[in-house]
Each structure stands twice: as structure tokens, then as C-alpha cells.
């Protein structure tokens, strides 16, 4: 096995150069999520409008998989309809990573997704009366 | 002669991995099981399965006899009395029993002291008890490089201290605490002394009379036994005084419409049909360890940790940072470490190669299976200034060659990640 590729070319590349990394000032939604098994954290920020994710940023502190999956997720959902993203499921997310993961590592991969879904649900609730 | 290769041949799981190779270094989490243990459990189900303490028919008597003999065997292994040997699911359940029952007994002004070295199972049950009964929980500081001694504990005691509950050996640092004078000194002050022995009973000779502890908890699955069985040992006089924990069948003498009379110990604390095959399996595990001799088990692990610390020094890798005492006399077979890494461009990824990645890579590169995370001891992990660590923990079937593979993996991971 190659010592150079750790997980997969996609994951390694996103870890080295994570997309949309950082913070949004005055976000419409933000959240801090933690993985209890390892203490990985992600702070995620959203700008929302017209039912779309206008901007997404995050500050992740974690393993390759959790950082890379946040990066891949952010690329996939930026500019998309909130409802479209809410209809994505965990399987979709895992398929973007192109990796077979055991149940413990799935949690790392889904930390950013869980954070995103919580914010979007919250956004929908807050805006449902309007 | 202690021969890890011969010992290994008793473990069917290693045969499965004969070709691809597996170096299992997560023994502080759970150990592998020898055929002797597996066969004892299978034999029970094939020959004697029935409920205990009930049927007066042949296999009922046989199951009860096997269950009672297992209890006697396990009690004698730790130098205790069978009536003080309560079967629980694991050390965690034993400590929950202790916290729940004793907190009701000591009254709400009582103070409980634990150390920062504790596993969550010796912290959270006391926090829950504190919420339920108002008892106060205090956490002692502990030094990463040395072990806890009486002087360290003494300064935390007040006239309200009713319980001191500390780990015999740390599951992160490998530290073996010095508990020799603890029991006598605490008893002189009327304080109950509890020992979390989950990381000591499997690895060294432990005798409850020498320790002079009031309660002591350990898990079967960390010492070759099956999961779902463990022991809370207690001095019979104290157990008799303590109120019951769970209610149900088995733990009562008589039940009336509005009250019950509990059974005598140990059944008083064993509500419901017990884990019969677990007790029998743990007894077989105890037989296996007795044959090896616990002195020899300890000597073997001391050799492995001494060799580990030497390999670490030889490797001389500036990014490698390990934790715990350097003196093998007070250190069990646990090696916990991080690989430091500068974060690029101020990206806050933490200053370590993530332990999950270490663990994943070690398995891929060298077939070395490590644990990663906070190891259920967050206060200790946080005090090391990190979120998580990687951990190797040894047992009777590990060899110096396994340690070599560990350091090959560390070296390669360092080369790949720090560039």
C-alpha cells in the first residue's frame, strides 16, 4: 500500500487545501458541533436568502476525514436550495467522499453534515410563519 | 518461562489474521479471548444451561453450582470473600452501584473525592449522585509524570469527606498509583476507600486485603473474559449496610404490597437473572491468568513498556510526544502519544496529527491497531493540552516485535504528515 495516499486522493487533497474555510461575519445561522468520541469540533456559518444557501464557511478542528468532508460538503451545497440540501441523505454525503467507512469514522465524516442540517432546520422553523 | 508466542496460539482470533498480520494494541479497551474461555461458555450452553438459584432439577443444580464456583474462584483470585464478590456488567456498573447506593447512605453534606486521572466511569456516576442527593464531588489534581500517593490525597480531605474513589492504574498514562497506605489512613478518618481496578486486576497481582479497600471494581472483558461481566468487590460489613441498587427478582428475601426485605449479600445487589455464562467465562479467564501467574504478567508488561520507552528515546523524533511516568516501576503497559505538527497558514487544525488519522494509518501501514480519542477520560486528556491522543496498550500476547512495528508506524506517519 502506498504510504503517500492516506485515505483517497480526494480526501487528502481537500485536507491539504480545504475550500470555503473560515468565518462569515454576521451569519444568518451559525453552530458549533462536537464529535463526542474524539472531541473534533466544527463551527459553521451560513448566509441564507430566497430559500438558498448563499454562502457557507466553517472552521474545523479535527481529523483528515472530518476536515475534508466539511470542505467537500461546502462545495456541494453552496448556492443550492435549502430544500434540496434538506433532501440529501447521509448516504449521498458518504458517497461524495468515495470511501468505505466503519461506523466510528462515519461520525467524523458526518459531523459537518449534521451541523448543516441542524442550521437549515432551524432556519426553516424560524421562517415558517412568514 | 513466559512465552507470548505460545500464549498467542491459544487465541483463535490471531489465527484468522495469520497471513495478513495483526498487531492488536488496544488491550486497555478490551482483550482478546483464549479458546479456554470461549469453550467454557459454549460448554455451559451445550451441557448445563438453566436459570440459577431456582430449579431443583439436575441441570438447574448444575448451573447454580457452576455459577457459585465461578464466584468463589474469582473471589480467591483477588484475595476476597465470595459473599463480597458481586457480579455486575463491568467496572462501570460496579462504580454506578457504589455511587448510587453510598450517596444515599452518606447524606447530602458528604463529600466525595476522585482524581483527575479517572475514567469517566469514576466521575460521572458521582456527578449523577450529586445531582440526585446533593453530595459534593471534588477532583484532585494529579501529576502527569508521577503517581498518586497518600500525601497527594491527604491535602484534599476535610471533615466532610466521606468517600475517596481513585483509580489503581490510569487508562491513559499507565500510571500505577501507590495505594499502600491509603486504606489504613482513610479508615483512621472514617472515610470509605474505593478503587477502580479496571486497569490493574488484569495486569498485576491485586489483593483486596493488602489494598484494604472497601470497594473495588473491575471488568471481565479487559482480562480475557467475555463482555457483560465484571465485579464489584466489597467488604461484607459495608455491603450489608449499603442500600440496594437495582430492584427485582433474585435480590429479595420477601416482597409485600408496600415493602420488601432484601436478600443477603451478594444477591442483594444482583437483581434479575444474572449473566451466568459471563461468570463462568470470567472464571475460565481467571484460571488462564493464574496459570501464567500475575507476577509474570506484570513482569512481561514492565519489560514491554521499558522497551517502548527505550525505542522512543532511540527514535529521537522531536514531533513525538508521549505522556506518563518514565519509571517502569510505576507504569503499566500503556503508551499514549501524539505527533506534533505545525498548522499551515494559521489554519486551526490543531497542532497534532489527528489521533484518528494516526490510528488509521498505523493499521494500514503496519497492521498495528491503536486506540484514538479521549479514552473516556476527558479531564485527563484536556489537562494534557490536547483534544485526543493515540494509545498503545499491551497484554500477555504482545511482544517486543510488536513494539518495533509500532515505532515503524510512528516513524512513517511522521514522515508522511510532517512536511
CATH of the domain at A117: 3.90.1010.10
Task: Indicate yes or no: CB of B348 within 8 angstroms of CB of A59.
Answer: yes
Residue with cell 505545525: B342
When pLDDT is cut at 50, 70 and 90, the band that residue A4 belongs to is: low
Task: Indicate yes or no: CB of B373 within 8 angstroms of CB of A62.
Answer: no
Q: What is the b/e burial string over B59-74, where b = at least 16 CB atoms within 10 angstroms of the residue's CB?
A: ebebbbebbeebbebb
When pLDDT is cut at 50, 70 and 90, the band that residue A1 belongs to is: very low
Helix, strand, or coil (residue A80)? coil
Tell me the domains of chain B and their CATH numbers: 4-32+293-417 (3.90.1150.10), 37-291 (3.40.640.10)
Does the active-site annotation cover B213?
no
Task: Indicate yes or no: CB of B374 within 8 angstroms of CB of A40.
Answer: no
What is the structure's pLDDT at B278?
Answer: 98
What is the structure's pLDDT at B401?
Answer: 97
What is the pLDDT averaged over residues B173-190? 97
Instruction: Judge residue B347's burial from the number of C-beta atoms within 10 Å of its C-beta, 0-12 exposed, 13-18 middle, 19 or more buried.
Output: middle
Instruction: State the DSSP H helix or E strand holding residue A14, giving kind and residue range, or none if neither.
Output: helix A9-16
Q: Name chain A contacts of B357, Cβ cutoff 8 Å.
A: 6, 63-65
Find, in chain B, the residue whose alpha carbon is nearest to that of A109: B356
Task: Indicate yes or no: CB of A18 within 8 angstroms of CB of B372.
Answer: no
Phi, psi of B59 (to 5 degrees): -70, -25
Helix, strand, or coil (residue A77)? helix
When pLDDT is cut at 50, 70 and 90, the band that residue B343 belongs to is: low
What percent of chain B is modeled with pLDDT above 90? 89
Q: Name chain A contacts of B415, Cβ cutoff 8 Å.
A: 3
Q: Which of B105, B128, B376, B417 is catalytic?
A: B376
Residue B114 and residue B142 in contact, taking contact as beta carbons nearer than 8 Å = no
Q: Name chain B contacts of A34, Cβ cutoff 8 Å.
A: none
Across all residues in chain B, what is the average pLDDT? 95
What is the structure's pLDDT at B380?
Answer: 93
* Residue A33 Cα, gap to closest chain B Cα (Å): 14
Find, in chain B, the residue whose alpha carbon is nearest to that of A4: B416
Predicted confidence (pLDDT) at residue A6 exceeds the cutoff of 80? no
Q: Name chain B contacts of A1, Cβ cutoff 8 Å.
A: 364-365
What percent of chain B is modeled with pLDDT above 70? 98
Predicted confidence (pLDDT) at residue A130 exceeds the cutoff of 90? no
Task: Indicate yes or no: CB of B347 within 8 angstroms of CB of A64.
Answer: no
When pLDDT is cut at 50, 70 and 90, the band that residue A10 belongs to is: confident
Task: Indicate yes or no: CB of A3 within 8 angstroms of CB of B378.
Answer: no
When pLDDT is cut at 50, 70 and 90, the band that residue A3 belongs to is: low
Candidates B341, B356, B376, B410: best to mutate against A (most CBs of A within 10 A) is: B356
Query: Who wins on pLDDT, B244 or A107?
Result: B244
Predicted confidence (pLDDT) at residue B347 exceeds the cutoff of 60? no
Distances, alpha carbon B54 to alpha carbons A107, B59, B208, B248, in Å: 45, 11, 31, 15
Q: Which three cell numbers stand for residue B346?
A: 494559521
Candidate from A3, A39, A60 with C-beta closest to B365: A3
Candidate from B357, B387, B415 with C-beta closest to A6: B357
Residue B269: closest CA among B68, B100, B72: B100
Predicted confidence (pLDDT) at residue B290 exceeds the cutoff of 80? yes
When pLDDT is cut at 50, 70 and 90, the band that residue A129 belongs to is: low
How far is residue B154's CA from residue B115's CA, in Å, rounded to a whole number? Answer: 12
When pLDDT is cut at 50, 70 and 90, the band that residue B30 belongs to is: very high
Candidates A1, A11, A64, A101: best to mutate against B (most CBs of B within 10 A) is: A64
List, edge to edge, every strand of the sheet that includes B389-393: B320-323, B334-339, B389-393, B371-373
Residue with cell 458517497: A95
Predicted confidence (pLDDT) at residue A5 exceeds the cutoff of 80? no
What is the structure's pLDDT at B344?
Answer: 58
Domain span at residue A56? 3-126
A43 Cβ under 8 Å from any chain B Cβ: no
Instruction: State the DSSP H helix or E strand holding residue A126, giving kind and residue range, or none if neither.
Output: helix A103-127
pTM greater than 0.90 (yes/no): yes
B219-229 per-position pLDDT tens digit? 999 999 999 99
Phi, psi of B90 (to 5 degrees): -170, 180
* Residue B383 Cα, gap to closest chain A Cα (Å): 14
How far is residue A28's CA from residue B382's CA, in Å, rounded to a whole number? Answer: 32
Task: Indicate yes or no: CB of A63 within 8 angstroms of CB of B354.
Answer: yes
- Return the axis-axis angle of helices B276-292 and B35-43, rounded to nearest 10°: 150
Between CA B29 and CA B38, with CA B33 as vertex, the angle to 5 degrees is 140
When pLDDT is cut at 50, 70 and 90, the band that residue B304 belongs to is: very high
Predicted confidence (pLDDT) at residue B360 exceeds the cutoff of 50? yes
What is the structure's pLDDT at A100?
Answer: 82
Residue B95: closest CA among B67, B123, B55, B66: B123
How far is residue A68's CA from residue A13's CA, in Å, rounded to a whole number? Answer: 8
The CA-based diameter of chain B, rounded to the nearest angstrom, is: 75
Candidates B351, B353, B354: best to mutate against A (most CBs of A within 10 A) is: B354
Domain count, chain A: 1
* Residue B350 Cα, gap to closest chain A Cα (Å): 6
Amino acid at each position: 500500500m502506498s504510504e503517500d495516499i492516506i485515505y483517497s486522493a480526494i480526501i487528502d487533497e481537500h485536507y491539504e487545501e480545504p475550500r470555503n474555510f473560515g468565518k462569515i461575519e454576521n451569519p444568518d445561522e451559525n453552530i458549533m458541533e462536537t464529535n463526542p468520541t474524539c472531541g473534533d469540533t466544527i463551527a459553521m456559518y451560513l448566509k441564507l436568502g430566497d430559500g438558498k444557501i448563499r454562502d457557507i464557511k466553517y472552521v474545523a478542528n479535527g481529523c483528515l476525514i472530518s476536515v475534508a468532508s466539511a470542505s467537500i460538503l461546502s462545495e456541494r451545497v453552496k448556492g443550492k436550495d435549502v430544500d434540496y440540501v434538506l433532501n440529501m441523505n447521509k448516504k449521498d454525503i458518504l458517497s461524495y467522499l468515495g470511501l468505505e467507512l466503519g461506523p466510528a469514522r462515519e461520525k467524523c465524516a458526518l459531523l459537518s453534515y449534521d451541523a448543516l442540517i441542524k442550521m437549515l432546520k432551524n432556519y426553516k422553523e424560524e421562517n415558517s410563519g412568514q | 518461562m513466559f512465552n507470548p508466542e505460545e500464549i498467542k496460539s491459544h487465541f483463535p482470533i490471531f489465527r484468522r489474521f495469520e497471513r495478513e498480520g495483526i498487531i492488536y494494541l488496544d488491550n486497555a479497551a478490551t482483550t482478546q479471548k483464549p479458546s479456554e474461555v470461549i469453550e467454557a461458555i459454549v460448554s455451559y450452553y451445550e451441557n448445563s444451561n438453566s436459570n440459577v438459584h431456582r430449579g431443583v432439577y439436575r441441570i438447574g443444580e448444575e448451573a447454580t453450582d457452576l455459577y457459585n464456583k465461578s464466584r468463589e474462584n474469582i473471589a480467591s483470585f483477588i484475595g476476597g470473600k465470595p459473599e463480597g464478590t458481586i457480579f455486575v456488567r463491568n467496572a462501570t456498573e460496579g462504580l454506578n452501584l457504589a455511587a448510587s447506593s453510598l450517596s444515599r447512605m452518606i447524606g447530602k453534606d458528604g463529600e466525595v473525592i476522585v482524581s483527575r486521572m479517572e475514567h469517566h466511569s469514576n466521575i460521572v456516576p458521582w456527578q449523577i449522585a450529586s445531582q440526585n442527593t446533593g453530595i459534593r464531588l471534588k477532583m484532585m489534581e494529579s501529576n502527569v509524570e508521577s503517581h498518586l500517593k497518600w500525601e497527594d490525597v491527604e491535602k484534599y480531605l476535610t471533615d466532610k469527606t466521606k468517600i475517596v474513589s481513585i483509580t489503581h492504574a490510569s487508562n491513559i498514562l499507565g500510571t500505577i498509583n501507590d495505594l499502600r497506605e491509603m486504606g489504613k489512613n482513610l479508615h483512621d478518618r472514617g472515610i470509605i476507600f474505593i478503587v477502580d481496578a479496571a486497569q490493574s486486576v488484569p495486569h498485576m497481582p491485586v489483593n483486596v486485603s493488602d489494598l484494604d479497600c472497601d470497594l473495588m471494581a473491575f471488568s471481565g472483558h479487559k482480562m480475557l473474559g467475555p463482555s457483560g461481566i465484571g465485579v464489584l468487590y466489597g467488604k461484607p460489613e459495608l455491603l450489608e449496610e449499603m442500600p440496594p441498587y437495582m430492584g427485582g427478582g433474585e435480590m429479595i428475601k420477601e416482597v409485600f404490597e408496600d415493602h420488601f426485605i432484601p436478600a443477603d449479600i451478594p444477591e442483594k445487589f444482583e437483581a434479575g437473572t444474572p449473566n451466568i455464562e459471563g461468570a463462568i467465562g470470567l472464571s475460565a479467564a481467571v484460571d488462564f491468568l493464574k496459570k501464567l501467574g500475575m507476577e509474570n504478567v506484570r513482569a512481561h508488561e514492565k519489560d514491554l513498556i521499558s522497551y517502548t520507552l527505550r525505542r522512543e528515546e532511540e527514535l529521537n523524533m522531536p514531533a513525538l510526544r508521549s505522556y506518563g511516568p518514565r519509571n517502569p516501576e510505576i507504569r503499566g503497559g500503556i503508551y499514549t502519544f501524539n505527533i506534533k505538527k505545525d498548522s499551515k497558514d494559521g489554519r486551526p487544525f490543531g497542532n497534532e496529527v489527528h489521533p484518528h488519522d494516526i490510528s488509521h494509518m498505523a493499521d494500514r501501514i503496519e497492521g498495528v491497531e491503536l486506540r484514538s480519542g479521549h479514552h473516556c477520560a476527558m479531564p485527563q486528556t484536556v489537562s494534557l493540552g490536547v483534544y485526543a491522543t493515540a494509545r498503545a496498550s499491551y497484554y500477555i500476547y504482545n511482544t517486543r516485535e510488536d513494539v518495533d512495528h509500532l515505532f515503524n508506524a510512528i516513524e512513517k506517519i511522521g514522515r508522511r504528515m510532517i512536511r
